[in-house]
């Protein structure tokens, strides 16, 4: 079986979608019938590494628009058993290679109407809410699959706070709320503002650590200072991936009362470090928390709801990895990908 994956960023990429794509490629390549997986990226932000055996990574496609078009055109001469399209904007290119590509959708990329001219042969969604939003405008009636994020449980654990990070961010004697994510104006739905506003009503030993960088950082800093919270809202800026488990282990509560998350992978990472989590009942966070089985769901529009959930988890004061988190293990993710491959190839044979 020869497989093609067109994607935005993957190896050398940063963030949740790049990680999801890497896991997806690893799972496809691990299938015993997969002879080769050809991966064509749109961008390669950093030096690519961790490319699995059986993966041909066409890094030169990311040089510029012309290089991307050239590589796609060259691939039309090859025969692929399955073609995966890793972003809705890449569907026109995928359709030049296959009349029935399988489209991967993640969140707000597929929530709003796009060009209906290019139809996929199947849709693989990161969450049920994202699939529902996509179906509501696309009129797609073909085969669909739900494929939630994977969490590599061996990469995370409950651990003592790192003394260097405690000193760096002034967290000695503090109880810490944490949110990890891109801090950009286009993604204000993540809930940073809502947590800052609630912080005013929480005890003074409670601080809010916001981990990430982006163009909305200065606005949030000014807002925190205007509310008299300048010393209680702490910004890490960009941080290396290798530091992420230690950042989670600084936290007493992970809180993300968001409105537009397609899934909410950071909730899984926090829980894998034993940090109790708060997510939104109105977006993909409810699926990451398994409908409230793994954490507390809140209405992001209700400051009282958010405050009460934070107070409840702070009062517990304990950390544990919730039973049931292994539902999202990489082994289960791989099994789901293999099942999808079987269904797609069986349908093509028929």
Q: Rounded to whole angstroms, how far apart are CA atoms 116 and 139? A: 9
Q: Give residue 21's pLDDT.
A: 96
Structural domain harbouring 164: 153-325
Q: End-to-end distance of the chain based on CA atoms, in angstroms?
A: 16
Instruction: Count CB atoms within 10 A of the CB of residue 209.
Output: 21
* CA proximity to 236, closest of 207, 276, 269, 258: 207
CA 29 centroid distance within chain: 21
Mean pLDDT of the chain: 94
Q: Distance between CA 122 and CA 140 in Å, rounded?
A: 9
Question: pLDDT tier at 350 (50, 70, 90 boundaries)?
Answer: low
Residue 349: per-residue pLDDT = 62
- Give the domain CATH number at 233: 3.40.50.2000
Same domain, yes or no, for 30 and 113? yes
**What single DSSP character describes residue 56?**
E
- The pLDDT-based confidence of 22 (bands split at 50, 70, 90) is very high
Q: What gap in Å lies between CA 253 and CA 309, rounded to an integer?
A: 10
- pLDDT of 304 strictly over 70: yes
Q: Quick: pLDDT tens for 156-190.
A: 999 999 999 999 999 999 999 999 988 988 778 88
Average pLDDT over residues 282-288: 93
Q: Mean per-residue pLDDT for 100-118?
A: 88
Q: Mind listing the pLDDT tens digit for each residue in 90-103?
A: 999 999 999 999 99
170 and 284 both lie in a single domain = yes
> What is residue 107's predicted lDDT score, i.e. its pLDDT?
86
Query: Domain check: are 249 and 210 in the same one?
Result: yes
**pLDDT-derived band of residue 348, with 50, 70 and 90 as boundaries?**
low
Asked if residue 65 and residue 79 are part of one domain, the reply reads yes
The sign of the CA dihedral 56, 57, 60, 66 is positive
Per-residue pLDDT at 132: 94
pLDDT value at 80 more than 90: yes
Mean pLDDT of 297-314: 97
- What DSSP string runs through 179-242? EES---GGGGGGSHHHHHHHHTTS-TTEEEEEEB--TTHHHHHHHHHHTT-TTTEEEEES--GG
Which pLDDT band holds residue 115 (cuts at 50, 70, 90)? confident
Distance, in Å, from the CA atom of 122 to the CA atom of 255, rounded to the nearest integer, reads 34
Question: What mean pLDDT do residues 215-234 have?
Answer: 95
pLDDT tens for 327-344 read: 999 999 999 999 999 999
- Sign, CA dihedral 332-342-20-191, equals negative
The residues, ordered by sequence, that sit 6+ positions from 327 with a Cβ below 8 Å of its Cβ are 290
3 state DSSP class of 40? strand
Count of domains forming the chain: 2
Q: Do 117 and 233 fall into the same domain? A: no
Angle in degrees, CA 20, 21, 26, rounded to 5: 100
Quote the distance between the C-alpha of residue 300 and its chain's center: 19
Say what the pLDDT of residue 206 is.
98
The SS3 call for residue 119 is coil
Give one word for 13, left, alpha or beta, with left for phi > 0 and alpha for psi -120 to 50.
beta
* DSSP-assigned beta bridge partners for residue 264: none
Residue 43: CB partners within 8 Å, gap ≥ 6? 8, 9, 13, 62
- For the record, the structure tokens of 220 come out as 């949030």
Both 224 and 139 in one domain: the answer is no
Phi, psi of 172 (to 5 degrees): -60, 125
Query: Two tokens at 212?
Result: 């990430």
How much is the pLDDT for 185?
A: 85
Same domain for 339 and 206, yes or no, is no
| 220/292 same-domain check | yes
CA-angle at 263, arms to 257 and 269, nearest 5°: 80
Asked if residue 288 and residue 159 are part of one domain, the reply reads yes
| pLDDT value for 313 | 97
Encoded tokens for 166:
């405690």
CA distance 238 to 119: 38
Residue, of 240 and 96, whose pLDDT is higher: 96
Task: Say whether both 57 and 100 belong to one domain.
Answer: yes
For 149, which DSSP code? P
Residue 141 shares a structural domain with residue 165: no
**Residue 163, phi-psi category: left (phi > 0), alpha (psi -120 to 50), beta (remainder):** alpha
145 pLDDT higher than 70 = yes
Do 301 and 167 share a domain, yes or no?
Answer: yes
């Amino acid at each position: 079986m020869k497989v093609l994956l067109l994607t935005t960023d993957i190896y050398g990429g940063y963030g949740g979608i790049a990680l999801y794509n890497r896991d997806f490629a690893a799972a496809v390549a691990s299938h015993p019938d997969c002879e080769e997986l050809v991966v064509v990226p749109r961008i390669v932000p950093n030096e690519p590494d961790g490319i699995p055996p059986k993966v041909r990574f066409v890094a030169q496609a990311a040089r510029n628009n012309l290089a991307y078009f050239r590589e796609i055109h060259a691939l039309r001469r090859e025969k692929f058993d399955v073609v995966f399209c890793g972003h809705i904007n890449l569907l026109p290119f995928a359709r030049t290679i296959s009349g029935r590509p399988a489209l991967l959708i993640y969140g707000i990329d597929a929530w709003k109407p796009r060009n209906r001219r290019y139809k996929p042969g199947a849709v693989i969604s990161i969450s049920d809410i994202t699939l529902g939003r996509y179906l509501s405008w696309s009129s797609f009636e073909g085969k669909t699959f739900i494929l939630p994020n994977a969490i590599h449980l061996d990469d995370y654990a409950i651990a003592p706070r790192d003394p260097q990070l405690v000193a760096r961010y002034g967290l000695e004697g503090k109880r810490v709320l944490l949110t990890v994510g891109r801090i950009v104006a286009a993604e204000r739905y993540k809930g940073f503002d809502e947590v800052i506003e609630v912080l005013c009503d929480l005890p003074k030993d409670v601080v809010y650590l916001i981990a990430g960088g982006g163009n909305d950082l200065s606005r949030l800093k000014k807002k925190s200072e205007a509310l008299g919270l300048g010393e209680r809202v702490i910004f890490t800026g960009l941080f290396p991936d290798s530091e992420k488990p230690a950042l989670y282990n600084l936290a007493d509560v992970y809180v993300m009362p968001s409105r537009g998350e397609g899934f909410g992978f950071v909730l899984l990472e926090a829980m894998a470090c034993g940090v109790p989590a708060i997510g939104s009942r109105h977006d993909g966070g409810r699926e990451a928390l398994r409908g409230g089985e793994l954490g507390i769901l809140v209405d992001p529009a209700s400051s009282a709801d958010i405050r009460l959930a934070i107070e409840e988890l702070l009062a517990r004061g304990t950390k544990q990895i919730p039973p049931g988190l292994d539902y999202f293990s990489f082994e289960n993710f791989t099994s789901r990908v293999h099942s999808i491959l079987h269904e797609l190839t069986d349908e093509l044979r028929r």
